[in-house]
């Protein structure tokens, strides 16, 4: 492609790395030529990619991560939610602790499913009543969905919260448009109702994109400790001298490049991954607490509480079990660990 001498003033510009012939959106060092965005899209499609569109969506989401203007609202809402939903009880249910995974992503399928079905029915003659019922069910299902979402949002990092606020605003916009659609259909303005539904679905899709950015790019909702037992080599490993462990206090020890938190209570030693499953907080800086089934460790960042014997979640926001290790003390007084097998309980551990 030949570089242009100068694009028309009305063109919106993007960059094109000339040597590689691939649109990457203007951050690449080296020789770039300037082409119109529409032309870049044309060549991206010709190459069988949609790199420009994907890159611009991703950059828009990344810009939100640094939107400091949202911080005031985020702090006020966080304070409010933490007062309304203290740790335990309903907060645990909304996080998904009893289910072992976050409930908000699962619940989002309800309004999206109802509303998508209603919009499809709009193209089927004689389905007006069905479409109205589906919109109403979708609106009703936003109540638990939003409640679970706000509970999770209140225990996120600030960058995640900024994206989460716009994600929530998109959801609110979608709900408003579908409520208006239902109202319009109720007063006989079906055509207006259909248009409002399509607008609502577009807003829900934008919110869904940000939700996936939160979950997959920013790691909200995934376990941040999962790789530990996966990476830990098989077999028993010497860790440290048992005599060097303080009684009743959590300490951090390294197993190669993996960080573990060790808790000694009398002759009993427990070991968990040190990186909290919720968002990676340092568990060795947390406090020990009595809990159901034995001692627990409370994460210093957002208060997730794990049973030290097996890493079970006692309180959220974490929903994934904290990876636990079997521990034994050798005749020479050396603490040895190996990854705990699934479902290996405290009783079995004590027999060893
Ligand atoms: S990092 Fe959030 S509770 Fe541990």
**Ligand 1 atom with minimal separation from the 302 CA:** 3
Grade residue 312 by pLDDT with cuts at 50, 70 and 90.
very high
Nearest to 23, CA basis, from 40, 39, 11: 40
Note the pLDDT tens digit of each residue in 67-122.
899 999 999 999 999 898 888 889 999 999 999 999 999 999 999 999 999 999 99
Q: Which range has the worst mean pLDDT, 41-45, 227-231, 308-312, 343-347?
A: 343-347
**Ligand 1 atom with minimal separation from the 299 CA:** 4
Find where tokens 């941040």 sit.
224
Rounded CA gap, 288 and 57, in Å?
A: 44
Q: What is the mean pLDDT of residues 126-139?
A: 94
Rounded CA gap, 270 and 255, in Å?
A: 14
User: In 3-state terms, what secondary structure has residue 112?
Assistant: helix
The answer to whether the beta carbons of residues 85 and 154 sit under 8 Å apart is: yes
Ligand 1 contacts (CB < 6 A) are 155, 276, 278-281, 299, 301-304, 317-318
Can you give the pLDDT at residue 60? 81
Q: What is the mean pLDDT of residues 224-241?
A: 80
Domain ranges of the chain: 1-65, 68-217, 229-348
Q: Which range has the worst mean pLDDT, 19-28, 89-98, 295-304, 318-327?
A: 19-28
The answer to whether the beta carbons of residues 115 and 140 sit under 8 Å apart is: no
pLDDT exceeds 70 at position 14: no
Joined together, the tokens standing for residue 201 give 């679905």
Nearest to 45, CA basis, from 25, 69, 23: 23
The answer to whether the beta carbons of residues 272 and 283 sit under 8 Å apart is: yes
Joined together, the tokens standing for residue 18 give 């000339």
pLDDT exceeds 50 at position 3: no
Q: Are strands 287-291 and 32-36 parallel, antiparallel or unpaired?
A: unpaired
Can you give the pLDDT at residue 342? 62
Find where tokens 């009893």 sit.
98
pLDDT exceeds 80 at position 27: no
Give the mean pLDDT of the chain.
83
pLDDT exceeds 70 at position 201: yes
User: In 3-state terms, what secondary structure has residue 222?
Assistant: coil
**Ligand 1 atom with minimal separation from the 286 CA:** 4
Class of residue 6 by CB neighbours under 10 A (exposed 0-12, middle 13-18, buried 19+): exposed
Give the distance from CA 215 to its chain's centroid.
3
Q: Taking the model in full, what pTM does it have?
A: 0.77
pLDDT exceeds 60 at position 25: no
Residue of higher predicted confidence among 48 and 2: 48
Preceding amide of 317 cis, omega within 30: yes
Residue of higher predicted confidence among 159 and 3: 159
For the chain, where are the alpha helices, taking DSSP H only? 37-46, 51-65, 71-84, 90-95, 104-121, 128-153, 158-186, 190-212, 227-231, 346-351
DSSP state of 247: B
Query: Could you give the percent of the chain with pLDDT greater than 90?
Result: 58
Query: Could you give the percent of the chain with pLDDT greater than 70?
Result: 82
Joined together, the tokens standing for residue 290 give 């009595």
End-to-end CA distance of the chain: 71
Can you give the pLDDT at residue 88? 82
Q: What is the mean pLDDT of residues 308-331?
A: 92
Class of residue 210 by CB neighbours under 10 A (exposed 0-12, middle 13-18, buried 19+): buried
Residue of higher predicted confidence among 195 and 86: 195
- Total residue length of the chain: 352
**Ligand 1 atom with minimal separation from the 316 CA:** 3
Q: Which of 96, 273, 276 to mutate to test the pocket of ligand 1 (most atoms within 8 A of CB)?
A: 276
Q: Which of 220, 289, 298, 299 to mutate to test the pocket of ligand 1 (most atoms within 8 A of CB)?
A: 299
Question: HSE-up of 114 (CA within 13 Å, CB side)?
Answer: 19
Q: What's the gap in Å between 343 CA and the centre of ligand 1?
A: 23
pLDDT exceeds 50 at position 320: yes
The answer to whether the beta carbons of residues 18 and 33 sit under 8 Å apart is: yes
Q: Which range has the worst mean pLDDT, 268-272, 324-328, 346-350?
A: 346-350
Q: Which of 281, 319, 322 to mutate to test the pocket of ligand 1 (most atoms within 8 A of CB)?
A: 281
pLDDT exceeds 80 at position 241: yes
pLDDT exceeds 50 at position 277: yes
Residue of higher predicted confidence among 105 and 221: 105
Question: HSE-up of 343 (CA within 13 Å, CB side)?
Answer: 0
Q: What's the gap in Å between 152 CA and the centre of ligand 1?
A: 11
Please name every residue paired with 18 in a beta bridge, in sequence order, or none if there are none: none
Please name every residue paired with 269 in a beta bridge, in sequence order, or none if there are none: 264
Can you give the pLDDT at residue 41? 58
DSSP string, 117-177: HHHHHTTSTT-HHHHHHHHHHHHHHHHHHHHHHHHHHTTS-HHHHHHHHHHHHHHHHHHHH
Domain 229-348 homologous superfamily, CATH: Rieske [2Fe-2S] iron-sulphur domain (2.102.10.10)
Q: What is the mean pLDDT of residues 209-215?
A: 93
pLDDT exceeds 50 at position 244: yes
Residue of higher predicted confidence among 347 and 228: 228
């Amino acid at each position: 492609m030949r570089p242009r001498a100068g694009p028309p003033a009305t063109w919106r510009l993007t960059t094109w790395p000339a040597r590689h012939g691939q649109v990457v959106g203007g951050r690449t060092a080296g020789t770039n030529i300037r082409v119109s965005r529409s032309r870049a899209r044309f060549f991206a499609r010709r190459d069988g990619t949609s790199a420009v569109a994907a890159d611009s969506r991703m950059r828009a989401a990344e810009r939100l991560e640094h939107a400091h203007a949202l911080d005031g609202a985020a702090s006020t809402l966080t304070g409010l939610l933490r007062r309304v939903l203290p740790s335990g009880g309903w907060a645990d249910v909304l996080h998904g602790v009893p289910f072992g995974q976050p409930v908000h992503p699962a619940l989002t399928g309800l309004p999206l499913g109802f509303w998508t079905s209603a919009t499809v029915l709009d193209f089927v003659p004689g389905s007006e009543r069905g479409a109205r019922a589906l919109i109403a069910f979708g609106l009703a299902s936003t109540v638990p969905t939003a409640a679970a979402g706000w509970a999770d949002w209140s225990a996120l990092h600030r960058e995640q919260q900024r994206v989460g606020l716009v994600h929530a605003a998109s959801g609110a916009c979608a709900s408003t448009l579908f409520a208006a659609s239902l109202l319009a259909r109720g007063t006989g303005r079906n055509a207006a109702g259909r248009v409002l539904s399509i607008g609502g679905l577009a807003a829900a899709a934008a919110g869904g994109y940000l939700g996936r950015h939160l979950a997959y790019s920013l790691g909200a909702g995934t376990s941040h400790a999962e790789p530990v037992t996966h990476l830990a080599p098989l077999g028993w490993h010497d860790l440290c001298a048992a005599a060097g462990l303080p009684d009743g206090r959590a300490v951090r020890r390294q197993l190669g490049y993996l960080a573990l938190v060790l808790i000694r209570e009398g002759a009993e030693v427990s070991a968990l991954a040190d990186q909290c499953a919720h968002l990676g907080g340092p568990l060795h800086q947390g406090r020990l607490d009595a809990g159901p089934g034995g001692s627990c460790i409370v994460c210093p960042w957002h208060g997730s509480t794990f049973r030290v014997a097996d890493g079970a979640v006692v309180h959220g926001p974490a929903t994934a079990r904290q990876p636990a290790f079997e521990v034994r003390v050798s005749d020479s007084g050396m603490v040895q660990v190996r990854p705990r097998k699934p479902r290996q309980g405290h009783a079995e551990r004590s027999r060893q």
